[in-house]
Amino acid sequence: MLEKAIDFSHSLLKKTVVPGDIVIDATVGKGNDSLLLASLVGPSGKVIGFDIQEQAIKQTKEKFLLTGLSERLELHQTSHEHAHTFIPENKAIGGVIYNLGYLPGGDKSITTTYQSTLTSIKHLLPLLRVGSLMVLVVYSGHPNGLKEKEMLLNYVSGLNQTDYTVLSYQFINQQNHPPFVIAIEKRKKKHPI
């Protein structure tokens, strides 16, 4: 059976994130993606999460207290444009997830925008460990969404295939802008002999 976009994004991360990894949740929201990542990185790993809204940070902290996984999570109430500055020096990251759009149950006028999303992607891509993934769940049904989708697809389809493999996973016969997934894999560089 075909997985929904969000389930597919999680399946990809389950295959690639390993215990001990440092991973990024670029849009924490209600903390569901952070929770999945925390279960994958194990006690020696770390999830570093970003959201611009206090409500998202608060909800996620509370969610983690209930699970006992708080020690694996570091939250920052700031834009994901700054995420790269929170990665320890010389450390590669084992995965990144963006779940774009607005906070479910929150203020629908506060959404991700293509400007900050692209800036952040450009900073984080070079930090990915070889074989790991940046996964984006893209919602184009809100006012900023269509432009964000267009700008993202334009950028990722131009990434050099020697460095990155880029996948788009989408349902093409559904109405009302169903979410879709973009996954970017960091490839191993072939060394010249």
Ligand X SMILES: C[S@@+](CC[C@H](N)C(=O)[O-])C[C@H]1O[C@@H](n2cnc3c(N)ncnc32)[C@H](O)[C@@H]1O
Which stretches of the chain bind ligand X, using CB under 6 A? 27-33, 50-53, 56, 79-80, 99, 101-103, 110, 112, 116
> What are the tokens at 6?
């969000």
Q: Which helix (H) or strand (E) holds 22?
A: strand 22-25
Nearer to ligand X, 105 or 131 (CB): 105
If the CB atoms of residues 27 and 132 are measured against ligand X, the closer one turns out to be: 27
Q: Which is nearer to ligand X, 103 or 156 (CB)?
A: 103
Q: How far is the CB of 154 from ligand X (least distance, A)?
A: 19
Q: How far is the CB of 119 from ligand X (least distance, A)?
A: 9
Which segments of the chain does DSSP mark as H helices, in order? 5-16, 32-41, 54-67, 114-124, 145-156
**Residue least distant from ligand X (Cβ):** 29
The CA–CA distances, whole Å, from 92 to 3, 9, 18, 157 equal: 29, 20, 13, 23
Closer Cβ to ligand X, 30 or 129, answer by number? 30
- Judged by beta carbon, residue 22 or residue 48, the one nearer ligand X is 48
Q: Which is closer to ligand X, CB of 119 or CB of 187? A: 119
DSSP string, 23-54: EEES--TTSHHHHHHHHHH-TT-EEEEE-S-H
Phi/psi of residue 21, nearest 5 degrees:
-65, 150
- The residues, ordered by sequence, that sit 6+ positions from 82 with a Cβ below 8 Å of its Cβ are 50, 76
Least separation in angstroms between residue 1's CB and ligand X is 22
Query: Shortest Cβ distance from residue 167 to ligand X (Å)?
Result: 20
Closest CA to 7 of 179, 130, 176: 179
Taking the complex as a whole, the smallest distance from the CB of residue 188 to ligand X amounts, in Å, to: 29
CB of 6 to ligand X, least distance (A): 8
